[in-house]
Amino acid sequence: MRQTRELVMSIDLNALEHLGINLYSNIPAVLSEIVANAWDADAQKVTVTVDKAKETITIEDGGTGMDRNGVIDRFLRVGFKRREVLGEDTPGGRKPMGRKGIGKLSIFSIAQIAEVYTIKGRERTAFKMDREVIRAAISGKTQKPYKPEELQTWPSDLKKGTRITLSGLSKSLSGMTVQGLKRRVARRFAVIGSKFNFTVTVNGEAIGPKDRAYHNAIQYLWSYGAQTEFVKSCKNLERTYEDRLKAIKAELKKSNISLSGWIGTVSNPSQLKDEEGDNLNRLAVFMRGKMAQEDILDEFGQKEIYADYIIGELHCEQLDLDDHGDIATSSRQSLKQDDPRFEALRRIVLSELRHIAGKWSDWRRSDGAKTAMAVPAVSTWLQNLRGDTKKKAERWIGRLNTIRSPDESDKKELLKASILAFESYRRKEELDRLENIKDENLEQILEIFQNIDDLELSYYGQIVKLRIQVIRTLQDKLKENDKELVLRDYIFDHLWLLDPGWERVKGSEHAETQVNEFLKKNSDALKNAEKKARIDIGYRTTGGKHVIVELKRASVAVPLDDLTKQIRKYRDGVKKILEKTTFKAWPIEIICLVGKPPPEWNDASGTGRQGVIDSLKTVDARIVFYDELLTNAQQAYGDYLEEHVKVDKLWEVFNAIDNFAPPRKIVK
Sheet holding 310-315, edge to edge: 242-243, 218-224, 260-266, 310-315, 283-287, 290-293
Domain final residue, candidates 173, 208, 243? 208
Spatial separation of the C-alpha atoms in residues 567 and 584, rounded to whole Å: 19
- How far is the C-alpha of 412 from the C-alpha of 400, rounded, in Å? 9
Do 284 and 294 touch, CB atoms closer than 8 A? yes
Residue 436's Cβ-count burial label (10 Å; 0-12, 13-18, 19+) is exposed
Cα-based distances in Å from 502 to 473, 493, 498, 589: 21, 11, 8, 12
Tell me what pLDDT residue 102 has: 65
Distance, CA of 100 to CA of 88 (rounded, Å): 13
Q: Quote the CA–CA distance of 16 and 329 in Å, as a whole number.
A: 15
**Residue pair 634/471 in contact by the 8 Å Cβ criterion:** yes
Please choose, from the candidates 322, 293, 298, 328, the residue with its C-alpha nearest in 3D space to the C-alpha of residue 310. 298
In this structure, are 469 and 539 located in the same domain?
no
Contact 239, 364 (CB under 8 A): no
Element (DSSP H or E) covering residue 621: strand 621-625
25 within some domain: yes
505 and 356 together in one domain: no
- Shared domain for 264 and 341, answered yes or no, is yes
Task: Give a three-class secondary structure readout of 290-332.
Answer: EEEECCCHHHHCCCCHHHHHEEEEEECHHHHCCCCCCCECCCC
pLDDT of residue 310: 94
pLDDT of residue 153: 93
What pLDDT is stored for residue 527 in this prediction?
A: 66
373 vs 390: CA distance, rounded Å: 13
Q: Which amino acid is at 127?
A: F
Pairing state between β 534-542 and 283-287: unpaired
SS3 per-residue string spanning 211-254: HHCCHHHEEEEEEECCCHHHHHHCCCCCCCCEECCCCCHHHHHH
d(Cα 193, Cα 191) in Å, to the nearest integer?
6
Q: How far is CA 9 from CA 74, 83, 142, 278, 466, in A?
A: 10, 21, 16, 36, 71
497 and 575 in a common domain: yes
Closest CA to 549 of 611, 606, 626: 626
3-state helix, strand, coil in the chain (%, to 5): 50, 20, 35
Strands 111-120 and 161-169: antiparallel
Number of CB atoms found within 10 A of residue 562's CB: 13
CA distance 281 to 271: 9
Q: What are phi and psi of 296, to 5 degrees?
A: -115, 0
Q: In whole angstroms, give the CA distance from residue 202 to residue 184.
A: 11
Residues 130-173 pLDDT 10s: 988 887 776 766 667 788 999 999 999 999 999 999 999 987 78
Residue 331: how many CA atoms within 13 Å on its side-chain side? 10
Query: Which residues on adjacent β-strands are paired with residue 125?
Result: 118
Q: Residue 171 gets which letter from DSSP?
A: S
Residue 8, CA atoms < 13 Å, CB-side half-sphere: 8
Into how many domains does the chain fold?
4
Return the DSSP state at 257: -
Last residue of a domain, one of 156, 179, 208: 208
| Residue 295 belongs to some domain of the structure | yes
Distance CA(458)–CA(42), nearest Å, equals 71
Which DSSP letter does residue 600 get?
A: G
- The whole-angstrom separation of Cα 383 and Cα 386 is 8
* 576 to 121, 518, 579, 584: CA distances (angstroms): 105, 11, 5, 9
Same domain (yes/no): 385, 516: no
The alpha carbon of 393 is separated from its chain's Cα centroid by a whole number of angstroms, namely: 30
Q: Which of 45, 47, 59 is nearest to 103 (CA)?
A: 59
pLDDT at 332: 47
Residues 113 and 68 in one domain: yes
Q: Please spell the DSSP secondary structure of 94-140, one letter per residue.
A: ------SS-GGGGHHHHEEEEEEEEEETTEEEEEEEEHHHHHHHHHS
Strand 149-150 relative to strand 161-169, pairing: unpaired
Last residue of a domain, one of 208, 236, 269: 208
| Residue 411 near residue 378, CB atoms below 8 Å | no
- Tell me the C-alpha distance between 311 and 280, whole Å: 6
Report the predicted TM-score, pTM, of the whole model to 2 decimal places: 0.63
* Same domain assignment for residues 322 and 309: yes
668: in domain: yes
Determine phi and psi for 513, rounding to 5 degrees: -60, -45
Based on the fold, state whether residues 294 and 417 are members of the same structural domain: no
In which residue ranges of the chain is pLDDT below 70? 1-2, 9-25, 79-87, 98-103, 138, 140-143, 320-336, 338, 374, 399-408, 410, 425-455, 459, 477-489, 492, 500-512, 519, 522-535, 543, 649, 657-668
> Does 433 lie in the same domain as 309?
no
Pairing verdict, β 161-169 and 56-61: antiparallel
Q: Does residue 624 lie within any of the structural domains?
A: no
* Contact residues for 13 (Cβ-Cβ < 8 A; gap 6+): 138, 139, 143
- Is 368 among the domain residues? no
CATH code, domain carrying 165: 3.30.565.10
| Strand, helix or coil for residue 266 | strand
CA angle 39, 342, 360 (to 5 degrees): 95
| DSSP string across 379-437 | HHHHHT--HHHHHHHHHHHHHGGGS--S-HHHHHHHHHHHHHHHHHHHHHHHHHHGGGS
| pLDDT at residue 45 in the model | 96
Residue 367: inside a domain: no
Residue 584 is given by DSSP the state T
Give the number of other CB atoms < 10 A from CB of residue 250: 9
Containing structural domain, residue 409: 374-477+629-668
Same domain, 262 and 134: no
Q: Do residues 293 and 383 both lie within one domain?
A: no
**258 and 138 belong to one structural domain:** no
